[in-house]
Amino acid sequence: MNHWIIAPIIVPLAAGAALLVLEGAEAHTKRVLSLSATAALLLIALMLLSAAATGEQHTYYVGDWPAPFGIVLVLDRLSALMLVLSAVLACASLLYALAGEDEKQKDFHALFQFQLLGINGAFLTGDLFNLFVFFEILLIASYCLLVYGGGAPRTRAAIHFVVLNLAGSSIFLIALGVIYGTLGSLNMADVAVKAASTDPHDAGLIRTAGLLLFVVFGLKAALVPLGFWLPSAYRSAIAPVACLFAIMTKVGVYAILRVHTLIFADQSTGTYLLAPWLLPLALATLVLGTIGVITASELRATVSYLVVVSVGTLLAAIGLFSRDALIAALLYLSHSTLVTGGLFLLADLIARQRGRDEARLNRPRAVHQPILLGSLFFVGAVAVSGLPPFAGFAAKLYMLKAAQGSAAAPWFWGTVLVSGVLVIASLSRAGSAIFWRTNDSAGEALPAQRCQALSTGILLAAAFLLMVFAAPALDYAEATVEQLLQSSGYIEAVLANRV
Amino acid sequence: MEALFAIVVGGLVACGVYLLLRARTFPVVLGLTLIGYGVNVFLFATGRLVTGSAPLVLPFIDSPPDPLPQALVLTAIVIGFGMTAYLVVLALKAYGQSGSDHVDGGPGE
């Protein structure tokens, strides 16, 4: 048993607890502790990635309880990929916060670590109830981080977010109750085995539970009609938090991928419970996000709607439920998470330098460092709208190719392509409004601190590296999809020590 | 008993949804609490309803009760309690900041 599998949960837990104790300590001490814990997390995640890349599904039985009874953590290619993504994003946003935002109020670092604990746990767990618990951990940390910094707009956005998610948690529990009541298990692999051989009399209940879980995960992923909380929440959070939240919608996407390929699917015939639902809803999300991007009057709102667009594109590709489309979706997931995270940081840098006008697009105030921020914005805009030379371009191309021949192809092609054009146009408009159509009234002379520029650069550079190493990334994505579509491997690995 | 049980769960959740849609923070908190009760009672029932059975797993009992739903409900209660407490504080803060108890922070009463 590889004990490192539980490290992505233990490290932030220990660091967060220590940071709570050290609350009165000097800022420097807390920063060093938090940053070193997050850097350690990145190293561990990379190590786990290389362990998972062998193709073996590693399992960790917590307390060494045999499989269907205890909680099991599973490390496969998909969860390792998500761990690395969240660790990279966490390092960058923490680095950005070190410029001073972590000292605005108490306990930023502790909450940040607990948020990572919840995210990593959700990626690793192989148990449905444990998934619920980790969701709640990441949610309670995100509620606190969302209001971090204070102010009425943040409180209002947080109320919507909290109420929606509490209602979502109730639905999650109902789904879990239905699954446990009919199948008598909550271990994902065990549930998958039992659901496949359930008597037809109960099949309706299982389908109900599957769709209820889809509602919950759709709420987390901000799928239409459950995603209206996202723009106000993300634009009102402080930049490092918004950057970290870029992975939160992907937790929902991950849960959909995991649960609905493993349990609520018949892989021998290639039928998926979600097949009639996911694609239309995702395309509607894409349309709504695009409209938001066009109409947004402030750069942070634009970036929030870009998150909606990326979720829509991603879930639309997953909704095709074909091997090639899933490969493209995984590549797009990695790319869009990094880029939207970077854009949140960049929008904050721009807003600071324009003083009172913030990042509004209808004001002519200039930024203090037009060259640095302008080039970062150019790179980010090119990357997020899926233009070459970035991985987003390759991913979208593969998606369009994968849609070829499916009945939904005209819808998919039309929506994705038109949305792409409109996003490019809106971002060009935003860029020219901020960097070109300016008058002489100089903004605040608040040059970007080195750690702020560096963290923004890291995320955009990571997106660029994804293109440079597109071949290995694609190979990894392909192997991941093979593993996802071959759920018997997962089930055998988890139930290997069955009593 | 099953019918009575189902009516109780349904009644709790229905009242909860009604209060949730009132869009004032206090009814919303009460509504979420009621939904939480309904869900917890529902989770209990996943261990099947029996009468006259022992509450504990003891060596001399032939068909012991299923302890897992109780553990699940306990976890759900604790989490729900914490979340509700947070929501109450947040609602008070929003009331202080906007002077309105509407969830959208609308002007006045």
Q: What are A79-111's pLDDT values in tens digits?
A: 999 999 999 999 999 999 998 888 888 889 999
Beta-strand pair A271-272/A58-61? unpaired
Q: Is pLDDT above 60 for B108?
A: no
Q: For residues A434 and A375, give the distance between their C-alpha atoms in angstroms, rounded to a whole number.
A: 12
Cβ-Cβ pairs closer than 8 A, A with B, add up to 87
Contact list in A for residue B42 (CB cut-off 8 A) is 173-174, 177
Contact list in B for residue A167 (CB cut-off 8 A) is 20, 32, 35
Q: For residues A72 and A188, give the distance between their C-alpha atoms in angstroms, rounded to a whole number.
A: 9
Mean pLDDT of A200-207: 89
Contact (Cβ atoms closer than 8 angstroms) between residue B12 and residue B37? yes
CB distance A152–B25 less than 8 Å?
no
Contact (Cβ atoms closer than 8 angstroms) between residue A157 and residue A236? yes
DSSP B48: -
CB distance B72–A152 less than 8 Å?
no
Contact list in A for residue B90 (CB cut-off 8 A) is 143, 147, 155, 158-159, 162
Radius of gyration of chain A (CA): 22
DSSP for A180-202 reads HHHHS--BHHHHHHHHHT--HHH
Mean pLDDT of A256-285: 90
pLDDT digits (tens, 9 = 90+) for A325-374: 999 999 999 999 999 999 999 999 988 888 777 778 877 777 888 888 99
Q: According to DSSP H, which parts of A184-247 are helical?
A: 188-196, 200-221, 229-236, 239-245
Question: What backbone torsions phi and psi does residue A74 show, to the nearest 5 degrees?
Answer: -125, 130
Mean pLDDT of A461-487: 92
CB of A323 less than 8 A from some CB of B: no
Asked if ipTM goes beyond 0.85, one says yes
Domain positions in chain B: 2-47+65-98
Residues of B with CB under 8 A from a CB of A: 20, 25, 28, 32, 35-36, 38-40, 42-43, 45-46, 48, 68-69, 72, 75-76, 79-80, 82-84, 86-87, 90-91, 93-94, 97-98, 103-105
Interface test with A, best of B12, B35, B48 (most A CBs within 10 A): B35
Mean pLDDT of A458-468: 90
Q: Is pLDDT above 70 for A141?
A: yes
Q: Which helix (H) or strand (E) holds A72?
A: strand A72-75
